[in-house]
Chains A and B, each alone.
Chain A
Amino acid sequence: MIRTENLEIGYSSSLLKVENLALNAEKVYFLIGRNGAGKSTFLKTILGQLKSISGKVFLKEQNIESIDIVELPKKISFVTAHFPSVDFLRVEEFIALGRSPHSNYFGKQTQRDLELIDDCLSILNIENLKGRFTSELSDGEKQLVAIAKSLAQETDVILLDEPTAFLDYANKKIVLNSLSKVSKELGKCIILSNHDIDLCVEHNGEYLIVDSIEKTITHHSTLNKERILEIAFR
């Protein structure tokens, strides 16, 4: 699904060298590293928001930099770390905005859009949030609603920036379980940055580890907790 070739990332100079990756559908990838090590930089580069220093990112064998900015949101979606605080925005209106890359010039909602929004709510078990204002949701609920929006975007790839950072343990589990479920059932390729090693290990995902000494990002299919700590946080 996602493939990188000799990728070097950074803002103006090379920050990290990325091992040649081949990331697949139906998988969850945990991006693990210190704060400030370059996790967000990596996500932005994959998203096409930030130009790579050198090397290429391919999304379904298409160079990400050659994809039109109007087309890109149909293929890859991003869940930001901060949920937008907006008054009077209902859950279903918020999720419907995820449909906007697919909708017509006036953003008209079709019957299919409405059904899809309901499906997204039900796969995450949050049908009960329908009709609520997003500003009144708990942090855990906000995160699930944000995920629902990126599901509504119907992209093959979903990137998430620290989706569990502000959540309590129970909510962290719910969010990660939901993501595993989504990747399996809907066949999505999911990459999320995280530093809750314990939780990551509980879910059988794969790992992208940022080594801030070696300045590399490496892919590991399985790892135990000690090994992760050794590489990522030494």
Chain B
Amino acid sequence: MTIAKKHSVLSILLILGLPLFAVIHLFAGQIDVSFNDVINGLFNYNENIVNQLIIREIRFPRMLIAIIAGASLSVAGLLMQTLFNNPLAGPYVLGINSGSSLFVALSIMTGIPFFTSELGLISNALIGAFIFGLIILFFSRMVKTQVSLLLVGLMLGSFISAFVSLLQSVSNAQELKIFTLWALGSLQKVSFEQLPIIIAVALIGILSVFLIVKPLNILVLGETEAKLLGVNIRKTRLIIIAITAILTGLVTAFCGPIAFVGLAVPNLVRILFKTQNHSLLVFASLLFGGMFILICDIIIQFLEPYFMLPINVLTSMIGAPLVIFFILKRLK
């Protein structure tokens, strides 16, 4: 099979797989819903029928945010990996999530109404992600090896969580509770009415990635080579950090932290596609990332009658061993 043919087959599988799992997700869960409930819930909504309410207000937003979160985090991870020339990079391990969390914590704890509004929460999450993106960029110029950047990121993450704990200890009980629960991570908080703004922000982030595919492809060779091929490194770096901040901040604001997806998915996509062509990598990471969290959430819904698993716990259970595997593969 030629490479191009293999890529088309994989792409078609992803294109078909995402809607397939999306539909399965709509039907998964403890409450049995009929095909008609789903159709009516989406197109002919009557909020007095509980099954339609469950489809429209609970399952549909949960399904869509699962796809958006998976797609956004995976592309953000891919961007980090290319920018730092480091397959072990990702928004979670480099502390970008934590930066977002810190700013959200600050905004919740201060109790200033603007900050606790929806817009305030998103903008704080974005600003936090951007600032910590710049910080990790600064450190990346100082460390030599891929694993040490990872360590710096993890330490940054620990430092922030210590700081957040300090904030928690001085805040009052109810604010503390709201923050603690936010920090657990959840796909279930988004409401139907919030979807348009989330989709809009995600699209802005994702579409702008396609505008920088060319410099991304060249950056794979490292910054020295990229410069020799005419890439404006400073500008490209800032654009990448900004897009990463939008994508990570959006997900962090609405779902809380979701670990390791951003690191694991782009690596899996590279292993599957065996290419460094970023138009293909971005496209595949979007679909595969969306599918990854959908499948995780289907598993969670399936297990609900026995025990409740937060999304962040499941992605860590799958993601962390993968990361160890990638590290071992690098170090050998």
Q: Are B230 and A69 in contact (CB under 8 A)?
A: yes
Tally B residues with Cβ within 8 Å of A.
Answer: 26
Q: Are A105 and B230 in contact (CB under 8 A)?
A: no
Binary contact readout A36-71 vs B (1 if CB under 8 angstroms, 0 otherwise): 000000000001010000000000000000000111
> Is the CB of A194 closer than 8 A to any CB of chain B?
no
Binary contact readout A73-97 vs B (1 if CB under 8 angstroms, 0 otherwise): 1100110100010111110011001
Q: Are A97 and B217 in contact (CB under 8 A)?
A: yes
> Is the CB of B277 closer than 8 A to any CB of chain A?
yes
Contacts of A70 in B (CB 8 A): 230
Known A88-B274, A93-B277, A105-B214; judge A49-B227 contact (CB<8 A): yes
Q: Are B230 and A89 in contact (CB under 8 A)?
A: no
Residues of B166-181 whose CB lies within 8 A of A:
none
Q: Are B218 and A100 in contact (CB under 8 A)?
A: yes
- When the two chains form the complex, which single residue of A73, A88, A97, A105 contacts B275, counting CB atoms closer than 8 Å? A88
* Residue of B87, B229, B271 contacting most chain A CB atoms (<10 Å): B229
Q: Are B214 and A80 in contact (CB under 8 A)?
A: no
Q: Which residue of B lies closest to A153 (CB)?
A: B229
Q: Are B230 and A106 in contact (CB under 8 A)?
A: no
Q: Are B228 and A78 in contact (CB under 8 A)?
A: yes
A106 to B232, CA, bound (A): 15
Q: Are B276 and A73 in contact (CB under 8 A)?
A: no
Residues of B222-238 whose CB lies within 8 A of A:
222, 224-225, 227-230, 232
> Is the CB of B189 closer than 8 A to any CB of chain A?
no
Q: Which residue of A lies closest to B272 (CB)?
A: A88
> Is the CB of B221 closer than 8 A to any CB of chain A?
yes
Tally A residues with Cβ within 8 Å of B.
Answer: 30
Q: Are B218 and A77 in contact (CB under 8 A)?
A: no
> Is the CB of B213 closer than 8 A to any CB of chain A?
yes
Known A73-B230, A88-B274, A90-B275; judge A97-B221 contact (CB<8 A): yes
Q: Are A77 and B214 in contact (CB under 8 A)?
A: no
A106 to B217, CA, bound (A): 10
Contacts of B271 in A (CB 8 A): 88
> Is the CB of A187 closer than 8 A to any CB of chain B?
no
Contacts of A71 in B (CB 8 A): 230
> Is the CB of B220 closer than 8 A to any CB of chain A?
yes
Known A80-B225, A87-B87; judge A97-B218 contact (CB<8 A): yes
Within the complex, the shortest CB–CB distance from B203 to chain A, in Å, comes to 18
Q: Are A100 and B222 in contact (CB under 8 A)?
A: no
Q: Are A107 and B213 in contact (CB under 8 A)?
A: yes
> Is the CB of B328 closer than 8 A to any CB of chain A?
no
Contacts of A100 in B (CB 8 A): 214, 217-218, 229-230
Within the complex, the shortest CB–CB distance from B64 to chain A, in Å, comes to 29
Within the complex, the shortest CB–CB distance from A98 to chain B, in Å, comes to 8
Q: Are B276 and A89 in contact (CB under 8 A)?
A: yes
A73 to B228, CA, bound (A): 6
Binary contact readout B192-230 vs A (1 if CB under 8 angstroms, 0 otherwise): 000000000000000000110110011011101101111
Q: Which residue of A lies closest to B329 (CB)?
A: A87
Q: Which residue of B lies closest to A109 (CB)?
A: B277
- When the two chains form the complex, which single residue of A74, A84, A101 contacts B222, counting CB atoms closer than 8 Å? A84
Contacts of A197 in B (CB 8 A): none
Q: Are A73 and B229 in contact (CB under 8 A)?
A: yes
> Is the CB of A103 closer than 8 A to any CB of chain B?
yes
Contacts of A78 in B (CB 8 A): 228
Residues of B246-293 whose CB lies within 8 A of A:
270-271, 273-277, 279
Within the complex, the shortest CB–CB distance from A39 to chain B, in Å, comes to 17
Contacts of B274 in A (CB 8 A): 88, 133
Residue ranges of B at the interface with A (Cβ–Cβ < 8 Å): 3, 87, 210-211, 213-214, 217-218, 220-222, 224-225, 227-230, 232, 270-271, 273-277, 279
- For the complex of A and B, 9 pairs with smallest distance between CB atoms: A107-B214, A73-B230, A89-B276, A84-B221, A88-B274, A70-B230, A101-B230, A78-B228, A84-B222
Residue ranges of A at the interface with B (Cβ–Cβ < 8 Å): 47, 49, 69-74, 77-78, 80, 84, 86-90, 93-94, 97-98, 100-101, 103, 105-107, 131, 133, 153
